[in-house]
Copies of this chain bind each other. A is one copy, B any other.
Amino acid sequence: MICDMAEHTESSKGMPDVSELSIGILGGTGDQGRGLARRFALAGHTVLIGSRSAQRAQEAAEGIGVRGAENAAVAAEADIVIVAVPWEGHKALLESLRDQLDGKIVVDCVNPLGFDKQGSYALPVEEGSAAQQAAAVLTGSRVVAAFHHVSAVLLLDPEVDEIDLDILVLGDDREATDVVQALASRISGARGVYAGRLRNAHQVEALTANLISINRRYKAHAGLRVTDV
């Protein structure tokens, strides 16, 4: 396994060196946010998780050995900011953080999904996708979409050393997607794969509903690998 993983490090792929970047996670008290925080901390990054309440952020952060603060402080301090808030509060939060996020790479991993007794389904998004909504709000930021399909359960499981999936990275700014691909590959076992422009983010977000269906049917924590890449 180790020699296999070596192929996925950013250096061997000609990816930028992102090892010194600090990572902020807005909405970092949810399972997805905490799971990503945990994996990036394991990879040696300084990680800050954000919440509307500094106290809740600090409580959530303690359990995984990172720091917690209010979303605005996290957005201002971190080199790269991941947006992992619930879809309901997505637009309002980003509107409130435009200044702090100006000039930064902002990675949106939000999946706008609805749930009913038949499972989950994609919600319509006026801007096309959560990522495009982020780009429309954060006109001074470099918005990238990624980390939609990682299983929070696996990210948080101390028994799971390797996360067996490719992380699809979308964006219109090549330098920014390269950075996020390199960042994705810092999660042990995972690999960042460029998967198109932001206008094609909707289906990647919505595909999370299909992964939820797969997980139900097969009692799995399904991920995707891209073949021939």
CB distance B207 to A203 under 8 Å?
Answer: yes
- A42-88 contacts to B, CB under 8 A, are none
**Quick check: is A98 within 8 A (CB to CB) of the other chain?**
no
In the complex, the count of this chain's copies comes to 2
**Quick check: is A210 within 8 A (CB to CB) of the other chain?**
yes
List B contacts of A229 (CB < 8 A). 214, 218, 220, 222
List B contacts of A221 (CB < 8 A). 228
- A161-198 contacts to B, CB under 8 A, are 164-165, 168, 170, 193-197
CB distance A197 to B228 under 8 Å?
Answer: no
Among B164, B207, B210, B213, contact of A227 (Cβ-Cβ < 8 Å) = B164
CB distance B164 to A200 under 8 Å?
Answer: no
A121 to B172, CA, bound (A): 14
**Quick check: is A25 within 8 A (CB to CB) of the other chain?**
no
Among B122, B194, B212, B222, contact of A217 (Cβ-Cβ < 8 Å) = B194
